[in-house]
Amino acid sequence: MTGSHASRWRGAGSRLVLSVWLVYALFATTNVARETYLALSLAERGSIRVDEYLGLHSDLFEIPGRGGYINNNPGASVAGAVPLVVARPVLAALFAWKPALVAPKPPAAYDDPRPNRSKFMNAARARGLDIKLGLAALITGVGAMAPLGALAAWLLFRYLTHRGHDERAAAGWALLYAFGTPLLFRSAFLNQNALLTHTMLGSWIAMTGWRPRAPDAPVPLAAMALAGLLLGFGLLCDYSAAPLLVVFGLWSMTAGWHGGGARGAIVGGAAFTAGALPMIALLLGYQQLAFGAPWFPAQRYMPATEYSVIGWNGFFVPTRELLLGNLFDGRYGLFAFCPLLALGLAAWWAPEASRRRYGPMGWALATCAALYVFSSANQFANLQWNTGVRYLVPLVPLLFLLAIPVLQRLPLAARWLLVGSSLVISLVVSMTRESVPDALALVAQSGPTLPVFLVLEKMASGYPALQFGVWGPLGALALATGCLAALWWPELRAPAGRRQA
């Protein structure tokens, strides 16, 4: 690689990272997830208990004699605690300067048809936690989810450049991946599904290599171990990583078998397991500390709900409602939120697919099938109607990479229709945090907005000084557009020949 070539490559990568970080930060929201409470406890007290916040969220529960905990694994909270630790001195100074920010406040109205949102706001106001929790949500969104999303886009960019795409095309695909898929929607606040998606991308790159391998080339043991480590962290974030670990573990064993028979299969499986074990040990240690037993998930200790009493801890045979809804429901269906991802399934029937069906493509589709069935058997997935696409988001990198060659073969009009519709849907649902039909109708009626301004508008009765009207989001969007134009102007004005890898 020549010096000028390397300089241009690094420049494109840097612009990509800054662009994705900026847009993800712009779309960050004050949504307080259950993981936010544990992140605060870790950052402030080094504790896994969330006693201070009991009663604010339905996924916080108390074990008599042991204290309060979140109803999920701790990995996302660990990631969110990092920017909260960094921001802690600033927050402490702010609250010392303005004690009224953390003082109890009288009830106020929240202009939303969902009564639980008004209930949460007033419960937080009564404890003087409203501003603190809102800032914590933004800090974890801007300081953890946004940079990790930018890193994921950069990794995809590098992966594609190493596999024959020129810089401009690779940057375009990476930007589409970041902004035109549900990653933008799920990365607006501390979220385990988005983090599991990033580990999936990293594991795929580890197993397939930066550059294409020959069909009979062995997968390095270090790559298998790295995939295990990344998906192990995914399990530390959420148990929906379990089927992914199973498929990638079988992939490692199969790759080892092709290189060394039964002994190679054992060694490959052992390498993958060795990578995953440290994270699994951390999860078991957390469950021992929190619940007094390492072997059962938090759901075992939660008070029973209408879903937890179905099957075993909410697991039953896949239901028709979830099998269809997880893909097509306008409230949470993966393909409803991103139509172009459906092309990833079409890759199986592409003209050259016959020679790749039993390689990485086959493992990618097996992973998709495993998580799809798992999520359709998880009755808690019925709650997605209120939170948007969620459980299938970790499949985004696999389906996106499979969709690229299919998308390239489509007629130009069909290609732009799929890309354009996916981008529009991604932007409007990320602006409004609503279902696809409701988001499209809201933006068509009221114009573009941003999550923070929309929430402040709904809380007008409690925070009258924080009302910016229509000009707030428009001004922020205009400023961000100007920054993006300035970032990419050198690339756009460069001659086409200089943009080739």
The reply to whether 307 falls in a domain is no
Residue type, 499: R
For 168-176, the CB contacts below 8 A with 24+ separation are 168/12, 168/491, 168/496, 168/499, 168/500, 170/501, 171/12, 171/15, 171/16, 171/491, 173/404, 174/16, 174/20, 175/16, 175/19, 175/20, 176/419, 176/422, 176/423
With tokens 């960019």, the residue in question is 157
Q: How deeply is 441 buried, as exposed, middle or buried, from its count of CB atoms within 10 A (0-12, 13-18, 19+)?
A: middle
Per-residue pLDDT at 340: 96
Per-residue pLDDT at 4: 42
Per-residue HEC secondary structure of 404-469 comes to HHHHHHCCHHHHHHHHHHHHHHHHHHHHHCCCHHHHHHHHHHHCCCCHHHHHHHHCCCCCHHHCCC
Cα 486 from Cα 434, distance rounded (Å): 31
Residue type, 276: A
Structure tokens at 201: 């991308």
With tokens 């530390």, the residue in question is 236
- Please list the pLDDT of the chain residue by residue as tens digits (501 residues): 344 444 444 578 899 999 999 999 999 999 999 999 999 999 999 999 999 999 999 889 999 989 999 999 999 999 999 999 999 999 999 999 999 999 999 999 888 888 788 889 999 999 999 999 999 999 999 999 999 999 999 999 999 999 989 888 999 999 999 999 999 999 999 999 999 999 999 999 999 998 888 777 889 999 999 999 999 999 999 999 999 999 999 999 999 998 889 999 999 999 999 999 999 999 999 999 999 999 988 878 877 665 454 545 666 788 899 999 999 999 999 999 999 999 999 887 665 554 555 588 999 999 999 999 999 988 777 777 788 999 999 999 999 999 999 999 999 999 999 999 999 999 999 999 999 999 999 999 999 999 999 999 999 888 998 888 889 999 999 999 999 999 888 766 665 544 443
Cα 247 from Cα 393, distance rounded (Å): 17
The reply to whether 142 falls in a domain is yes
User: Which of 464, 454, 472 has its CA nearest to residue 112?
Assistant: 454
Residue 154: partners with Cβ closer than 8 Å, 6 or more residues away? 13, 16, 17, 20, 174
Q: What is the dihedral of CA 197, 202, 208, 209, to 10 degrees?
A: 160
Number of independent structural domains in the chain: 1
Cα 445 from Cα 439, distance rounded (Å): 10
The reply to whether 35 falls in a domain is yes
DSSP 174-192: HHHHHHSSTHHHHTTS--H
Phi, psi at residue 431, to the nearest 5°? Answer: -70, -40
Cα 241 from Cα 247, distance rounded (Å): 10
Structure tokens at 319: 């239901």
Cβ atoms within 10 Å of 216's Cβ, excluding its own: 7
Q: How many helices (H) and strands (E) does the chain have?
A: 20, 2
User: Which of 62, 181, 33, 191 has its CA nearest to residue 120?
Assistant: 33
Structure tokens at 428: 């409007």
On whether the CB atoms of residues 150 and 13 are closer than 8 A, the answer is no
For 109-118, the CB contacts below 8 A with 24+ separation are 109/461, 109/462, 110/458, 110/459, 110/462, 111/457, 111/458, 111/459, 111/460, 111/461, 112/458, 114/386
User: Which of 216, 302, 208 has its CA nearest to residue 258?
Assistant: 216
Q: What is the CA radius of gyration of the chain?
A: 23
The reply to whether 374 falls in a domain is no
b/e sequence 36-45, b meaning 16+ C-beta within 10 Å: bbbbbbbbbe
The reply to whether 312 falls in a domain is no
The reply to whether 20 falls in a domain is yes
Per-residue pLDDT at 303: 75
Q: What is the span of the domain harbouring residue 129?
A: 1-167
Cα 229 from Cα 139, distance rounded (Å): 27
Cα 26 from Cα 150, distance rounded (Å): 13
b/e sequence 300-320, b meaning 16+ C-beta within 10 Å: ebbeeeebbebeebbbeebbe
pTM of the full structure: 0.93
Cα 125 from Cα 103, distance rounded (Å): 8
The reply to whether 34 falls in a domain is yes
The reply to whether 126 falls in a domain is yes
On whether the CB atoms of residues 418 and 340 are closer than 8 A, the answer is yes
Q: Where are the alpha helices (DSSP H) in 98-216?
A: 115-127, 130-140, 146-162, 167-179, 183-186, 192-208
